[in-house]
Structure 1
Amino acid sequence: MDERSTTVFMILLFCVASVAPAAANTLDVCASCHVNATCDDKRDNSGKVCNCKYGFVGNGRTFCQDKDECQIGATKICGQHTKCHNTFGSYYCTCLSGYVASNNMAVFIPNDGTHCQDIDECSVEGICGEGGQCRNQDGSFDCSCQLGYRVRNGTEPFHPHKDEALCQGQIACSYNLFRLVSSVLLKLFLMTSPNSAVDCGQPTLQEDTVLLSATGTAFGSVATFECADGFVRRSGSSNSLCGADGLWRGLSVICEAKCGPIPFLAHSEVLWRNRSAVIHRCVNGYHSWRGSNVSVCSSSGVWQTATLKCIEIKPPINRLLVSNENCLQWSAEKYEEETETYKVIYSGSRDYERSFSDKRKQFLRSKTDWLEVCLNLLPATNYSIAITALSAGFTAAITINTSLTAPAVPDVHYREYDTPVPILTLHRSPSTLDPISFYQVFVLPIEGMMLFECSSPTNGEPSGKSSSSQGHVAAQMSSSHVGKEFHFTVGDGHFYGGFFNAPLEKGRNYYVILRAVSHWKKDSKSSCVLWAKVTGTSYIVKISSLSAAVSLGLVALAVLLGCTYTGFFKKK
């Protein structure tokens, strides 16, 4: 072999060595995908690969964890002037105070171009109060006083919602002096009244309300309430009066959300809410399937209800059962009209046949909701069956003990014999899967009309050396001792399985029947076949007949020779 041939040979060996292990270690990739992953085709179509679903990160097989999109920063994921909120498998964005989403929604995802833009607070008339002048800023605003007014309780510029400053003119100052004098006179009156010792304490808040003002906590004081931000007054009084009994009374205002009660979604609960948005999630035992999980109060005062649908969590393989001891049936709980691939693996064993093993598997692809696959299970066998939905990565298992069936009729060739010790032949496949326990040979004398019941109880008691005139069991042989071809001599005087193979009586005719018996636990099944007929011509009769035939032959020969001799001499 030259150097070039040697090089080519070594390259071929290297290729075979590198490819063989790969073929031997083929992995069912889809069955190993994580529950939060999908099984996809590789870009080069060389196989399958597990990829974590949108909103999750990981290797696709051993783990897929929630991806915190907000960790890279709200500015990068949501845009300027935003706050990012992470959820399981997703996220959403809100605008900072002083900004509003360009689509006027309280929460959004910026993949449609939505961004936060400055709110022009100065477009609201009177936001700075009387005598105030508004100046809009990026994300906020401030106020200053017009000519003829001066700032009180602060300096310019001021923020009316954060500071106590406000603009007052000369008339306003006189009015404030009037209020101060009136307040002093009212207090003096209350102090001299019989109920001057009554103190109602701090006014009690009602749901969804805030305290606007209170003249005090003594008898006759009045507290005024208003609905909290995001709520509107529907009915009732917004004033509460401190009574002589020391209790606040009269407040009956009812405040409702601007859009009314929050929307209700079946099988869901509220995860988070504010005055204009609600985030829903499915309750335990249900999981989300399609749709948005956010309800938003629109500018028109109507809830834009979330489209989230919560469906009951069920295993991908449900109501698994075996029909007619052969066909596997189950309900496919799928949430999409897609094709699922199922792998069925089943293994069978027998208590009475330790060497027996039946291991098989098959695959099934289907879109239907109710499936059936027949497995051709063998009788009298203990089976363990496992079925896996590959894309869902879910496995269900079931066990079944198939019942005993009648064994196949033994393969023999019927013949008639005129010898008292005929040799009969049984053909049997060594790899048969029939659960045959043993064979029995019955010898029945032929007497008039006969009836043999094959399904009669198996006689397991060995017999003595005497044979019954009604017939007897001549032999019992375990199936493990019967090979591909088995020869049996009727009437040889030996014991087989404890049964005596008695010699046949001379001059009688017999039928020989072979019975195959399957025995498992407390059940027995059998099949029978007529194996042979033995005629009973006696040995003396046979010898006499043979002697007579020989004698007749000799006489005929002598006559023939005499005639021939006489004719010869006459010619001479």
Structure 2
Amino acid sequence: MYWRTALVILAFLTLAITEMRVTGQTLDVCATCHPNATCEEKVDGTGKACNCMYGFVGNGRTYCQDKNECQIGANKICGQHTACHNTYGSYYCTCLAGYSPSNNMAIFIPNDGTRCQDINECRVQGICGEGGKCTNMQGYFNCLCQVGYQVHNGAEPFHPHQDKALCKAIDCGQPPSALNAVQLSATGTRYGSVATFGCSEGFFWKSGENSSVCGAESVWKGPSLVCEATCGPAPALVNTEVVLQNTSVVFHRCLEGFHSWRGRNTSVCDITGKWQAATMRCREIKPAISDLVVFNEKCLRWKADKYEEDTENYRIAFVGFRAYQRSFHDKRKKLLSSTSDHPEICLNLLPVTNYTISITALSARFTSTLTTNTSLQVPQAPEILYREIEAPFPTLWLRRSVNTLDPISFYQVFVLPLEGTLVFDCSSPKTPDFSSQRKPHGQYITAQLHLRDIGKEMNLTLGDGHYYGGFYNAPLQNGRDYYVILRAVSQWGGAFKHSCVIWAKVRDISYIMKVSSLFAGGSIGVFALGIFLGHCYTWFCKKTRQSS
């Protein structure tokens, strides 16, 4: 509390002393001016005042801050084509690119009348490079190419310091050649150069211009002269063109898409002034192999495009696959030499196989390819030993050859009782077994054997009571005769092929059983009679001894 009171008293005393000084003496205004101000007499003569220096704004006493002269715009303060740069308490001006100050100073203040004027860059020798033509503009310049030059790496107009473009002299290269003419002279290869031509010996100038000029597009224009041989125009051949011609000889060749078909390819101007025309013929180029077809499933035929008498060598390659036999792979090759226009060749293609066949004409180096599928063939019946058997359990034998169709082939053994009218249809897809056939004495399948499961030879005993491929091998009935038929079947994808063969004939076994029974009964009777006679002999001998 005490220190606050002391501060108030001190402030009061200070104020009082200040007032006493002011009252007692005059205030010095200049002493209060800002450092960036000057003290000057007032216009009305009433005293002095503090004024901020040039380049500063403020009250002259407490503050004088920098004035940014450039904020009103470079054009207003520095003039046209200038840039304004503010500094502390001042500013300066510079000229924009393409302009220079009239006082030749890098920086200037425009109060001396200095201004920025256009620089004429075209005064610099070769500023646009060789062949370039300079055009001065306000603040900049550009370049065009002179006549005889072309712009490269850009387009006209261009700026050599900003673009990669430049002018290069037009050069047409060596003058062109003219048919049946020779070059007589040439002034060069640059723009405007001229080359002259004359007809070769043995030819005369019929029409056209004999000069060629290097143009602005770097291309020779002309010549258009036409020189003809003393025999006249070269003979025209169908589908040919002239590739070379001199005084007396013309060389012909076939047009694109055609080939020579015998004959001479030269036309000759003879001593009588007439052309001995070429004899060549030009035929349209066609595939060396066309219209490739398969016939009889195993043979190929095609149309050959070649000279009539020539022999063409062919390479035939074929590969076969089967969907039902993944491990199967039939890959073979054959060679054929033929002079025919429609060659043919037969291949040993396997049945039920997908083939890809390629034929190559070796001299023409042309290949044609097709795909084909072979069909299912009638299976071959095995070798059997036909027998007429009188036995209750006959055993039958067969021998077969291993075939590539074994995975889709099988044998069916039919038993047919010989009663009434016997009808058997080998092509029927029906497969009656012993238990399902409804006729009291109908035919049935007694065994079905898959060929992949049997070897080259096989024995089958009829009536053994076993199951073969799901079919019951039922015993044969007494008192009946049978035919046994073997059916070979190949089946795939809805196709069904077959062949049948009579395997055996089994006769009535009841007679055999009767004879066997009689033989057995007779044997027993003889044996009993022998025992009886022996017993009688023994009794008789005993009686005889007792009587003696």
Could you say which structure has the larger radius of gyration?
2
Flag the structure with more relative contact order, 1 or 2, with Cα contacts below 8 A and sequence separation at least 6: 1
TM-score scaled to structure 1, two decimals? 0.48
